[in-house]
Amino acid sequence: MNLTHLRRSLAIAGLAALPFTFAHAESAQPAMITLASSQNVDTTVANLSQAFTARGMTIFTVIDHQAAARAAGLDMQVAKVIVYGTPKAGTLLMQKDPHFALKLPLKVLVTENQQGQTEVVFESTRQLLQNSNITPAEVQNTLAQAEKLIANTVNAANQPAN
């Protein structure tokens, strides 16, 4: 095998591997993002709700799953879901892909794990866009910013007070 043929074979093999490289890079972000909060569930819910409204988002409701379970005579860990969004931004996404209405408004779960640690859990932007007609570029100022806002709010609350 001459050197030119070897280089050509390696280049073709490298190009053939590119889809796997990109697929791996895209899947590097988990479908569900979990952040630890140093605050209790109620304080974390309040902090996130305040951050959302300060950015002009609407809090549609907060679902208290533990309270609903207790009303049904059952018990479970504390688990609250904040349902929030921006109708102006969401409407544009639903106009482009009507099925996206199943994913909106956005939701974030604040719960306690088995060790009693507060966790904030939400779907990644990548997961929300999966099987939709919406591209990441179309949501970089909406869904991706909401994801960053959640992380920044939780991280700020985790910082020790001066």
- Among 15-19, 25-29, 124-128, 140-144, name the most confident range: 124-128
Residue 141: pLDDT above 90? Answer: no
134 in Cβ contact with 96 (< 8 Å): yes
Q: How confident is the model at residue 19 (pLDDT cuts 50, 70, 90)?
A: very low
Lowest mean pLDDT among 36-45, 70-79, 128-137: 128-137
Alpha-carbon distance 155 to 13, whole Å?
A: 43
pLDDT at 159: 75
Say which amino acid occupies 27: S
pLDDT of residue 10: 39
Name the amino acid, one letter, at 60.
Answer: F
The predicted model scores a pTM of 0.79
**pLDDT tens for each residue of 86-96:** 999 999 999 99
Pairing mode, strands 106-112 and 118-123 = antiparallel
Query: In 80-117, which positions are buried (b, 16+ CB within 10 angstroms) versus exposed (e)?
Result: bbbebbbeebbeebbeebeebeebbbbbbbbbbeeeee
Quote the percentage of the chain above a pLDDT of 70.
81
Mean pLDDT rounded to a whole number for the chain: 84
| Torsion 135-27-41-162 (CA) sign | negative
pLDDT tier, 25 (very low <50, low <70, confident <90, very high otherwise): very low
What integer pLDDT is reported at residue 29 of this predicted model? 72
CA distances for 119 relative to 28, 67, 71, 155, 159, angstroms: 21, 18, 24, 12, 16
As a whole number of Å, the CA-based R_g of the chain is 21
More reliable by pLDDT, 142 or 101: 101
- For residue 146, the tally of other CB atoms under 10 A from its CB is 24
Query: Helix (H, G, I), strand (E, B), or coil: what is residue 58?
Result: strand
For residues 122 and 117, what is the distance between their CA atoms, to the nearest angstrom? Answer: 16
